[in-house]
Structure 1
């Protein structure tokens, strides 16, 4: 037999009959080898499956024992959400608008002539919102103020998701009190003295529009912080390089955008709706109010809940009131107010000695609302909070569960708590959204006159 055979299946050189026997023998060996390999693979797969089943069984048992059925249900929901969510990137701005926004070649927008103290035309470009948006509430307050001063406003919605136009117009009028003309960017904008972006997606629409008018940016928070470092954070940051004149909620944003991006900025002070939020002398104050919105990560809800757990162990007789969203399923014992109306919140604040309102970026409207009702807000100690709140009755605390719990404990145990509450409410009586509106009006006039 030729000992130079290179292919075990090639026996063409053998005598008839011998090749058949050899082939049959080799085939049997091959089959046996594959069967053995198959049994080994199947055994390995079964072993791995058994290990995973045992692991998941122990995990579920531990969760049920230590945290209850809710914890198991939460894990199942989280896995389900991860499974069904889109695998592709979700654009919050139309990609074609990003491509069109060449920041190296800024468009030269025509300017309409302006006369000091004469009414001006303002286009507001915003993403449509459902009920309860604090940012849209502030914008609508400013629009109403300017409208009352004789200026003409138009609202243009920018919606990359293709929402229903009539529905969002209805919400804008019913929930935010917008009475001016409402249109959609996709249908084009009329010329105006000022064209105002109100969020980072809308900034791309304002940048690309051929509409006449000086560009402004109504900035209420540092929106790159809303995302992990990635495409959305980069796209949001780039809007501060578009050359708009910034009008910001509070001085912190004005300083940050001017310092880091060279933007021309003005700021307006936070207002407080003291007609809706007010001190009630007859109220019995004993609880703690917590602004809890887990869907808004910058409000650090998880840290707040840990702080309340520590506080509840120290003060088990004090009621905890949560508001902002439906918090059902949390192990903490509390009264859940969900998405509450201003009238309901006024009652909640007046029933509480202290409130917890955390913010990792620009502050929300909540601390001032609490103050107006005599509820002492405990906030995380940060430069942006101190600069914007600027109130001696705000209690600052380290952003740790123990630090926040200790501050809440100090407030509720203070010997002069009633008098302190009354003084705190008096400290914001002069705060008005008219003051904020006047600051915006002045900033618009000053910038427009300088441009002309």
Structure 2
């Protein structure tokens, strides 16, 4: 007999009642303590990379962090989870617990996804509830229940700490959240321009991830096909997913999923990197810039909080407009070199340490 789908059991967490917060004069909480409620992590997760990076930097500033895995996870023990974090992200001193019921009291507690926001709603042993928002998560779903469940978390009264101004302004305008924004940077120990192996070959890089519709795979393939028709000698490089099942009639490399260490060399071999974002940006544009690759992206407030006409090429999101922009950059050597130089300078003007200082200032202001 087939097992019935248990919608009620799977989504019962959305019925979590608000447990409130500790009072500032409770006297039961150490000052520099932070709880981070996260969903399970996998190798290569950009969202988790950002969270663990901030924890790593906050530890250097004297903050004691506790990481709580909310919901189902794949780890046999807390120590196993710690080893994986150290191997694939950052070596952290943070305590790791499974389940909100095992969280200690803390001065600050962060939700980091819409599901963990419900868990934080039901956690009362904290002075401040914050929401580390890296993207507009309702847009990950069709307009239905899950969209609504995710959107509802922006009404919980948490203070937002958002990846970029676009998210912060949108959440303030649409949901009345009090929000702060942090910027992006890149890993200087990893992303740097390396010599071109064959500088006479023009190449276009494209990040491809079919399960993530907001990255615009269909738009990208249509645009790149037009580029290939107009410039038959151009080579294309696809990475981020195995594209072996996708038809593309021009010379290309299906690089698939690569390690972080392989990416800088790959980016450095390319003249143009196509980065389409229909919600918030990822870290990819700055990483491409640091490797000397010109970024072409779609216009919109969700991209223009970081990208502009001085550090990248921004166009409307139609395939023809994108193709025209890529061809223009490939055919105009002077434009390409000038853009690449300006973009690299812009990337190097950013700093994760500076952004962490901004986060510390936010926390210190809340603690006053």
Give the root-mean-square deviation of aligned CA atoms: 2.4
Q: Indicate the residue corresponding to 2:44 in structure 1.
A: 132
8 Å CA contact 1:290–1:320 kept in 2: the answer is: yes
After alignment, is 239-248 or 423-432 more displaced?
423-432
Counterpart among 144, 148, 151 of residue 237 in structure 1: 151
Aligned to 2:300: 382
Tell me the alpha carbon deviations over residues 62-119 of structure 1, each in whole angstroms, 9 at most, x when there is no partner: xxxxxxxxxxxxxxxxxxxxxxx9984768x953321123xxxx5431045699xx96
Q: Relative to structure 1, is the Cα distance of residues 331 and 367 closer, same or farther in structure 2, using a 3 angstrom cutoff? A: same
> What SS class does the counterpart of residue 288 from structure 1 fall into?
strand
Q: CA deviation at 1:315?
A: 1.2
Cα 1:234–1:259 change in 2 (3 A) is: same
1:53-64 correspondence runs (5 A): none
Partner of 2:171: 257
Counterparts of 1:38-437 in structure 2 under 5 Å? 88=5, 95-101=11-17, 106-111=18-23, 120-159=32-71, 161=72, 163-166=74-77, 168-179=81-92, 180-280=94-194, 284=199, 286-332=202-248, 333-390=251-308, 392-416=310-334, 417-437=336-356
Following TM superposition, by how much is the alpha carbon of 1:147 offset from its aligned partner in structure 2, in angstroms?
Answer: 0.5
How far has the Cα of 1:209 moved from its partner? 1.3
SS in 2 for 1:228: coil
Deviation of 1:187 (Å):
4.0
How far residue 157 of structure 1 moved from its aligned partner, in angstroms, is: 0.4
What is the SS of the residue equivalent to 1:388?
coil
Note closer, same or farther for the CA distance 1:369–1:229 as it changes in structure 2 (3 Å cut).
Answer: same
Contact between 1:371 and 1:424, CA under 8 Å: does it hold in 2? yes
| Structure 1 residues 151-186: Cα deviation after superposition (integer angstroms, max 9, x where no partner) | 111100002x35434354443232122521111125
The residue matched to 1:295 in structure 2 has which SS? coil
1:331–1:86 Cα change, 3 Å: farther
CA contact (8 A) 2:207 2:239 kept: yes
Equivalent pair of 1:114/1:120 in contact (CA under 8 Å) = no
Give the Cα separation in 1 of the matches to 2:363 and 2:41.
25
Structure 2: gaps (5+ residues): none
In 2, Cα distance between equivalents of 1:350 and 1:87: 51
Which structure has greater helix proportion?
1
Residue 325 of structure 1 deviates from its aligned partner by 1.1
1:277–1:89 Cα change, 3 Å: farther
Helix, strand or coil for the counterpart of 1:389? coil
Q: Using a 3 Å threshold, how does the CA distance of structure 1 residues 165 and 214 change in structure 2: closer, same or farther? A: farther
Question: What is the CA distance between 1:294 and its match in structure 2?
Answer: 0.6
Inter-partner Cα distance in structure 2 for 1:150 and 1:278: 30
Alpha-carbon shift at residue 228 of structure 1 (Å): 0.4
Contact kept, 8 Å, 1:111 with 1:214, in 2: the verdict is: no
- Equivalent residue of 2:229, what SS? helix
TM-score (structure 2 length as normaliser)? 0.90
Distance in 1, matches of 2:185 and 2:73, equals 33
Cα 1:297–1:264 change in 2 (3 A) is same
Q: CA-to-partner distance for each residue in 1:350-383, whole Å, 9 max, x for gaps?
A: 1111010111000111111111111011111112
Given that 1:217 and 1:244 are in contact with CA atoms closer than 8 Å, whether structure 2 keeps it comes out as yes
8 Å contact 2:20–2:122 — kept in the other structure? no
Considering fraction of residues, name the structure with more strand.
Answer: 2
Aligned to 1:41: none
Whether contact under 8 Å (1:110, 1:213) holds in the other structure is yes
How far apart are 1:434 and its partner, in Å? Answer: 1.0
- The counterpart of 1:441, out of the listed 329, 351, 360, is 360
Q: Residue 279 of structure 1: CA displacement? A: 2.6
Q: How does 1:2-21 map to 2 (within 5 A)?
A: none
Q: Give the superposition deviation at 1:288.
A: 0.4
Conserved 8 A contact 1:109-1:212: yes
